Structure 1
Amino acid sequence: MNTIPTSGHLFVVRDSFARKLLELARRALVYDQMIPYLGPGLLRLSSAEPPVPCTPEAVAAALNTRATAPSKIRTNMWSVAQFIEQRRHRRTLQAWMADIFAGPTAPTPLHNWLAKLPLSLIVDSWYEGAMRAALAEAGRTDVAEIQGVTRANETRDIWTRTYDLFGTELEPGAATKTVLYAPHGSIRPAANFLIADSDYVEALTEIDIQTPIPDVVKERRTDRGFFFVGCRFNDQMLRTYARQIMKRSEGPRYAIMDGQTLTRNEARFLGASGITVIDMPDSDAVAQLAGSTT
């Protein structure tokens, strides 16, 4: 595997160079040398109108239909959720999030392709559970899903819970071929959501020393790179989690993104993290990776 560039400059590749680099990423995924890091943008590949929100702003809008937040925070998912928790109680926020993400979300061709690979680690950074569904549909019995949990509902000093694909809770550290890591939680099987600002207070205090990151994630990232698809990093929370999850990984690191729409903070984060941008539409990238159209 290649080492991570340390110049801090953002590298963007397009056209034939992008396709060549994507082929290298595809081979690395096939040989379990790269970790997929999946974002909510993938939901647009299955439907122009996904059955669940596919951006933090869309979640904020959905929550606002249930309880209108002050205008200065109305588009910020984490702050709107915090407003609801403070005014209506955590149980209400949990129930509304479960309702918002209740709709079944069909896995995309990329999810289905990844589900058949002998990957050691997959990171799913959204709540809808499409990657979990793809693994279950593939008949996989060698998968454990580790989900981040809010400490507001816990009496023990834990950061995560672990489940098999049937929804049975497992002891932490269960030995499996593939670990599906959902750092922000997931709708299934138990509607675990890290969503409010308060959910992240302790996590962000501890995350720099890696306490909330499961040991198996730290172990399996060491000699692998990361492949980001369907992700944006236009919020500090998203950048912080991605930075800490890929910390001390060997590389290389690639991201499928539209290079023309990057914010200044996104470009700075990508460059500082040694992430090369493969500038092409997600649909084209998935077609090349999975060998099918979307």
Structure 2
Amino acid sequence: MTDTALASGTEADSVTVADTAAAIADIVAALKARQAVPYLGSGAFALLPPEECPIPRNSAELTQRLNARVTAPGRFRTNLTAVAQFIETRRHRKTLDAILNELFRQTVPPTPVHRLVAAIPAPPLIVDVWYDNVLDALLTGLGDRNWGQIQGLSHPQSTGEWVKYYGLDGAETTAEAAAGWDTLLYKPSGAVAPAGNYLVSDSDFVELLTEIDIQTPIPPSVQERRAGRHFLYLGCRFDHEIQRTYARQIAKRSSDRHWAVIQGELSRNEERFLAQHGIQRLDLPLDVAVEMIQEALG
């Protein structure tokens, strides 16, 4: 469940940057030096009006859409992973995947967050934890990038594979090929394109969480490219244990200094998480922060 207790202003101030302009300058310097890893959450789509965004913009909207197709019992109807598990158990995994493909296989305009990340000169690693294909469509459209993506897989214990690798053309490829990409797009939760891989149900995350502490699900190329680098969290909240676990384990053995754009009050667990992992919070509207970074990048 998400956290409900809110941090006081004093506690939140302990992780909030005092000098926004200086923080933006540090972020831009790290991006230009290829020492920052953009980490995108579903919150990027909050910058689009509902009528312009045909896909679910967050976990709550996705849960509602799933319930509209297969109504889950009331006791867990608002819990995304439980609702997905209910559909998987009662209607088969293929039904769940088909619904997700239909929901996310829509043409979505890129948000300012996606445009910013696509414009960064050859970042070694980008992490995107939502199920859309907006960023890979932008990267493909640039035409001058040597890049590919790695996606997490559902039920890896049944196949022995935790991830699959996809080249620029969407064809499946190898870990050896990924080592040569200038930019690696890591989609740990899977994505609609090119193959409709999704980590979304309780059973998906049970398998992941039993191994993630020892880093088994994290591909070696991701582990190599995160080493010593800073993370820049855009469109992310950390008010759910799975969100915190993903962010913590993906960024393990990276730098001890990171940034997150989160406006407004923080939950107590969010404030604690940011403090523990050296994440400095910019208390700004996401679109404002993105515009400042974009202008400074030039």
TM-score normalised by L of structure 2: 0.89
Equivalence for 1:267? 271
1:121 to 115, 121, 125: 125
Output aligned runs, 1:1-294, within 5 Å: 10-13=14-17, 17-49=19-51, 50-116=53-119, 117-151=121-155, 156-174=159-177, 175-258=180-263, 260-291=264-295
Q: Do the aligned partners of 2:256 and 2:277 also contact (CA within 8 Å) in 1?
A: no
RMSD: 1.8
Report the AA paired with residue 151 of structure 2. Q
Report the AA paired with residue 286 of structure 1. V
Shift of residue 126, structure 1, vs aligned partner: 0.5
Listed one character per residue, the Cα deviations across residues 171-230 of structure 1 (whole Å, up to 9, x for unaligned) are 123121110000000111111100001011121000000000000111111121100010
Aligned residues: 281
Q: Do the aligned partners of 1:228 and 1:254 also contact (CA within 8 Å) in 2?
A: yes
Report the AA paired with residue 142 of structure 1. N
Distance 2:50 2:93 in 1: 32
Please state whether the residue corresponding to 2:101 is helix, strand or coil.
helix
For structure 1, the residue ranges without an aligned partner over 5 or more in a row are 1-8
Distance 1:205 1:270 in 2: 23
Shift of residue 57, structure 1, vs aligned partner: 1.1
Please state whether the residue corresponding to 1:51 is helix, strand or coil.
coil
Report the AA paired with residue 82 of structure 1. Q
Kindly tell me: are residues 199 and 140 of structure 1, through their superposed partners in 2, closer, same or farther at Cα, counting changes over 3 Å?
A: farther
Shift of residue 54, structure 1, vs aligned partner: 1.5
Q: Do the aligned partners of 1:10 and 1:268 also contact (CA within 8 Å) in 2?
A: no
Report the AA paired with residue 37 of structure 1. Y
Higher helix content, 1 or 2? 2
Listed one character per residue, the Cα deviations across residues 245-290 of structure 1 (whole Å, up to 9, x for unaligned) are 00110142100001x3321221121111111101100010111122
Shift of residue 30, structure 1, vs aligned partner: 1.9
Q: Do the aligned partners of 1:223 and 1:250 also contact (CA within 8 Å) in 2?
A: yes
Deviates more, 1:107-116 or 1:130-139: 107-116
Deviates more, 1:110-119 or 1:245-254: 110-119
Among the aligned pairs, what percent are the same residue? 42
For structure 2, the residue ranges without an aligned partner over 5 or more in a row are 1-12
Report the AA paired with residue 71 of structure 1. G
Shift of residue 155, structure 1, vs aligned partner: 5.1
Deviates more, 1:181-190 or 1:139-148: 139-148
Please state whether the residue corresponding to 2:175 is helix, strand or coil.
coil
